[in-house]
Structure 1
Amino acid sequence: MARKKAPEPKPAACEVCKGTGEVSRTVEVGRKRRAVGQQTGFCLNCLGSGEAPE
């Protein structure tokens, strides 16, 4: 009788982006660095995969 293979555990979610792969940053303009909004980009910790780096 063959044994069933246990499913591999899911990798942990990245703590910085909480598993989404994206982070928001405030956009600042001018010499006084006035905040005008937010911009979304990929997470540099997990490089957009959403999985915690090893």
Structure 2
Amino acid sequence: MARKTAKPKVTPCEPCKGTGEVSRTVHVGRKRRDVGQQTGICLNCLGSGEIPADD
């Protein structure tokens, strides 16, 4: 009989709150005006949404 292994507990990433994406303000011009927001992958978890392992 095969033994089932327990799934590891997943903790969501703090900066992206588990979504894998973060928003950044876009600046243009010499005075660095704010023109909107742009989303990109979270550099802390690299888009996975989970806290990286402490290997």
**TM-score (ref. length: structure 1):** 0.84
RMSD between aligned residues: 1.6
**Which contiguous aligned blocks of 4+ residues in structure 1 show a shift greater than 2 angstroms?**
4-7
2:13 maps to 14
Q: Which amino acid aligns with 2:19?
A: T
Report how far residue 5 of structure 1 moved: 3.6
Which residues of structure 1 form unaligned runs of 5+? Answer: none
Q: Which structure: larger Rg?
A: 1
Matches within 5 A, 1:1-54: 5=4, 7-54=6-53
**TM-score (ref. length: structure 2):** 0.82
Q: Deviations over 1:3-38 (max 9, x none)?
A: x64632331000110000000000000000000000
Report how far residue 40 of structure 1 moved: 0.4
Which residues of structure 2 form unaligned runs of 5+? Answer: none
